[in-house]
Structure 1
Amino acid sequence: MTARVVVCDDQELMRVGLRMVVDSQPDLTVVGEAADGLAAVELAGELRPDVVLLDVRMPGLDGVAAAARITATVPETRVLMVTTFDLDEYAYAALRAGAAGFVVKDAPAEEILVAVRGVLRGDAMVSPSVTRRLLERYVVGSAPPEPDDRAAVLTEREREVLGLMARGLSNTEIAGRLFLGETTVKTHVGRILTKLRLRDRVGAVVFAYESGLARPGH
């Protein structure tokens, strides 16, 4: 089955390039383009695509606000942010808004396709190291962490797994650290997301830092 993609960028050249990359694949097809955030929100509501490639910085409604509206109104659509730098000042806000990850504008075509297919699988396409840098830059030190009642529903093992996720460890690495099977770790991650009512792994890491369950260097 072919996945349907909407491309949103205020630069026509960028839209053309992304369309060419996506349409070159037999399992992906671009079904629409938008030049600003408002148009992207309307198009996502109308077409209900599988993925929206959304530029972070646009005139009018920026990508962060557009991502928030799309994930709220079309929750089955995954949003992949397209940024200028790997530490874009809006990237953290976009993740909080519900984006599944981000890719850099000048990334190789193969990397963009990996990210698109990743969010289609339900993965959060932000590398653990970048996630931690984002959190340390935009969360830590900005305000004291606030306790979150949702954390009380986690078991001690789930807290351990969440803490290791926040440190940037993959499921395989967590399994090795806790002497568990990788399938067991995946089960714990799924339960964490369900209990905390979170969309994906990035959301779980953000939650861990904002609630004080994780701190840089720990």
Structure 2
Amino acid sequence: MLIKLLLIEKNLPNAQQAVSLLEPLDHILICGVATSYEHSIELIEKKQPDIVLLELNMLEEQSMYISAGIKKQFPHIHIIIYTGYDYVPYFNQLIENGVSGMLYKTASAEELNVMLYNVLRGNTIIPLSLYRQIKLHRSEHLKHYWEIEMTPIEQSLLEMIDERYTNALIAKKIHVSESSVEKYLRKLYDKLGVRNKSQAIERMRQDRRLRPIGFAEKASPHALASPRTEVVEHEHL
């Protein structure tokens, strides 16, 4: 598979070094070298590369916006950052800008080649030291019910819903009025992304299939409110 690559590097000697590194790879076609943002846009429109190899100078503020500008105009094109600077402090911003990968200029031709192929297949490569710092942030509606942050009383409500308690029985159990129970339940339903008890029960049933082995329930029968349970004020829930 032939990979069309456009290099963006304003320093021509550095650009030539990168070209020399890539030229021996017969499956990579360097379709142009741009020396400015405006020049890169012109070449991308004309050459339609698969990947843009973007030299990033962290000392120049404009460098951080080039990738975002290119990705906005050409969302289908992959951008790989190619830099001699430590990109880790800028990692999150570069991800938001839409880059597909990041490499140091010390990378070998083989490492660059592997990155190019992986990016075209929907993957990327990052150092293990950086990988171990990554934490996945999932939208609330994608979380399983046991991942959702709940108050102690909401955890108890969840358990009672699962045991098919009526609102009247819940009210008696936690020593509040039925109208207060309804208020608590509405907030709980919002967190679960459901509208009623039946949907909440079904949500828990489906999520349990995916719960990791040994993962404890958020609430257990022993965690249910007892007569000694302190009633939490409405505004704190």
CA contact (8 A) 1:56 1:62 kept: no
Give the structure 2 partner of residue 156 of structure 1: 144
Rate the CA distance shift 1:40–1:125 in 2: closer, same or farther, 3 A: farther
Residue 127 of structure 1 and its aligned partner are, at CA, apart by 3.2
How many residue pairs align between the two structures?
Answer: 147
Give the structure 1 partner of residue 101 of structure 2: 101
Give the structure 1 partner of residue 69 of structure 2: 69
CA distance in 1, matches of 2:77, 2:7: 13
Rate the CA distance shift 1:123–1:63 in 2: closer, same or farther, 3 A: farther
CA contact (8 A) 1:36 1:60 kept: no
Query: In the TM superposition, what whole-angstrom CA distance separates every residue of 1:14-73 from its partner, at most 9, and x where no partner exists?
Result: 211222222321221100101123322332233221000001118988332111122121
Unpaired runs of at least 5, structure 1:
137-147, 160-177, 180-218
Give the structure 2 partner of residue 140 of structure 1: none
Amino acid paired to 2:139: A
Moved more, 83-92 or 96-105: 83-92
Unpaired runs of at least 5, structure 2:
148-211, 214-237
CA distance in 2, matches of 1:24, 1:103: 19
CA contact (8 A) 2:6 2:49 kept: yes
CA contact (8 A) 2:58 2:64 kept: no
CA contact (8 A) 1:4 1:51 kept: yes
CA contact (8 A) 1:38 1:61 kept: no
Query: Which structure: larger Rg?
Result: 2
Rate the CA distance shift 1:130–1:79 in 2: closer, same or farther, 3 A: same
Rate the CA distance shift 1:90–1:155 in 2: closer, same or farther, 3 A: closer
User: Identity percentage over the alignment?
Assistant: 22
Greater relative contact order: 1 or 2 (C-alpha under 8 angstroms, separation 6 or more)? 1
Amino acid paired to 1:156: H
CA contact (8 A) 1:80 1:100 kept: yes
Amino acid paired to 2:48: R
Amino acid paired to 1:62: Q
Amino acid paired to 1:122: G
Q: Secondary structure at the match of 2:139?
A: helix
Q: Secondary structure at the match of 2:33?
A: strand
Runs of 4+ in 1 over 3 A off after TM superposition: 58-63, 85-92
Amino acid paired to 2:141: V
| Length-normalised TM-score, structure 2 | 0.53
CA distance in 2, matches of 1:75, 1:103: 20
| Length-normalised TM-score, structure 1 | 0.57
CA contact (8 A) 1:81 1:102 kept: yes
Give the structure 2 partner of residue 12 of structure 1: 12
CA contact (8 A) 1:6 1:52 kept: yes
Give the structure 1 partner of residue 3 of structure 2: 3
